[in-house]
Amino acid sequence: MVSAQLDTPLGEITVVSLHLHWPWPYRQATQLEALIPALNDLQGPVVVGGDFNMVPWATPIEQIGEATNTRVIAGLRFSKSLLAGFVQLPIDQVMISNGWLASAETGPQLGSDHKAILARFVPVHQIQ
């Protein structure tokens, strides 16, 4: 996990890049348990993105959301292919603070084994 607080035209935003291990037997739960205190300390608004190795409706995503006061940007984005593309997984996520409007879509595999996720977001009070 890496985070940075940015001063943007929309105000200060904390941006987090997160890469979690696969779940059992790869200790994702232990890794997340160690990260929760740091996630709790982040100042909002917060954007969390990365390879979560977990589907958006799973408990680890809920735990990250509770710790950062964020939610997964709506939509099901298949970002990882297995078995020559036969299996598609939505395991890369972008989460945004409440009070922000957001959209996200998959992009190309820019040198990775995962598709990119492009997110757009704006605070509700900026919309006229």
- Report pLDDT digits (tens) over 48-100: 999 999 999 999 999 999 999 999 999 999 999 899 889 999 999 999 999 89
- 45 upstream amide cis, omega within 30 of 0: yes
**Does residue 14 contact residue 5 with C-beta atoms inside 8 Å?**
yes
pLDDT-derived band at 31, boundaries 50, 70, 90: very high
In the predicted structure, residue 125 carries a pLDDT above the cut 80: no
- Report pLDDT digits (tens) over 100-119: 999 999 999 888 999 999 99
DSSP-derived pairing of the beta strands 87-89 and 92-97: unpaired
Instruction: State the pLDDT at residue 84.
Output: 86
Superfamily of domain 2-126: Endonuclease/exonuclease/phosphatase (3.60.10.10)
**Does residue 54 contact residue 85 with C-beta atoms inside 8 Å?**
no
